[in-house]
Structure 1
Amino acid sequence: MTAWHVVLLASIVCFGLKALGYLVPARLMERPTPARMVDLLTVALLAALISLQTFARGQELVLDARLPAVLVAAALFALRVPFIVVVIAAALVAAGIRALT
C-alpha cells in the first residue's frame, strides 16, 4: 500500500464520517450535554493543533520564537484586540526574536 492509497482511504473514511453526521437527529444535538461536548471538543482540537504547530518540528519538541509569539497573541486575544493587530503583533515578536538569535 502506497502513501496515496492511505490518503485516498483516509479521505473516504472522513467523507463517510461526515455523511454519517447528517444522520444524527437534530433534537439529539440540541440537548445541553451533547451540545456542550461538541463545543468543548472543538476547543480541544483547536488547542491541540495550535500546540503541535507551536512546539513540534517533526517528532521533536522545539521551543523557539513561536512560543513567545503565541503567548503575545493569547494575551492580545484576552484583551479583545482586533484580529489583524494580533496577527501583526505576533509576527513582529517572532521576527524580532529570530533576528536576535
Structure 2
Amino acid sequence: MTDSVLLVAVLLACLLSFLTKLAGHLVPPRLLLGPLSSRALTLLPVCLLAGLVAVQAFAAPGGHLVLDARVAGLAAAVVALLLRAPFLVVILVAAAVAAGLRALGWAA
C-alpha cells in the first residue's frame, strides 16, 4: 500500500467518523428516549466489545478456530470477574495465565 493510498484511507476514515458523530447529533431525541431504544443503546457497547473479544481470542489468521493461551487467559478473566475481582486484577490474572502458558510452550 503506497503512502498516498494510506493517506486517502485515513482521511476517508476521519470524514466517516465525523459524519457519524454529526448524524448522532441530528437524530431527534424522541427516537432515543423510548424504552426499547434506550435498552438497545445501553447494551450495544457490551455486545460490540464481546464480539471483538471473541474474534481476538478464538480466531487465527486463516480464519480458523484456535484454542490457545489467549482462550485460557480469557477463561481466567471470566473466573476473576465471577469472583468480583477489581478490573485491574482481572486484567493482570488474564495476562499472567496467558503468559505462563506461553512460557510453558503453548502457541500464539
The TM-score range, normalised by the shorter chain, is 0.7 to 0.9
* Shift, 1:94, TM fit: 0.6
Question: Gapped runs of 5+ residues in structure 1?
Answer: none
Q: Which residue identity lines up with residue 29 of structure 1 in the other structure?
A: L
For the pair 1:99 / 2:94, whether they are aligned, the reply is no
| Deviation per residue, 1:10-60 (Å, 9 max, x gap) | 220121011110112233212101111112222211111111221234343
Q: Secondary structure at 2:49's aligned position in 1?
A: helix
Within 5 Å, which residues of 2 pair with 1:15-94?
Answer: 15-61=18-64, 62-94=66-98
* Shift, 1:91, TM fit: 1.2
Identity fraction in percent = 45
What TM-score comes out, normalization by structure 1 length?
0.85
What count of residue pairs does the alignment treat as equivalent?
101
What TM-score comes out, normalization by structure 2 length?
0.80
| Deviation per residue, 1:35-90 (Å, 9 max, x gap) | 11112222211111111221234343332201010111112112211112111111
Task: Pick which of 70-79 and 59-68 moved more.
Answer: 59-68
Q: Which residue identity lines up with residue 70 of structure 2 in the other structure?
A: R
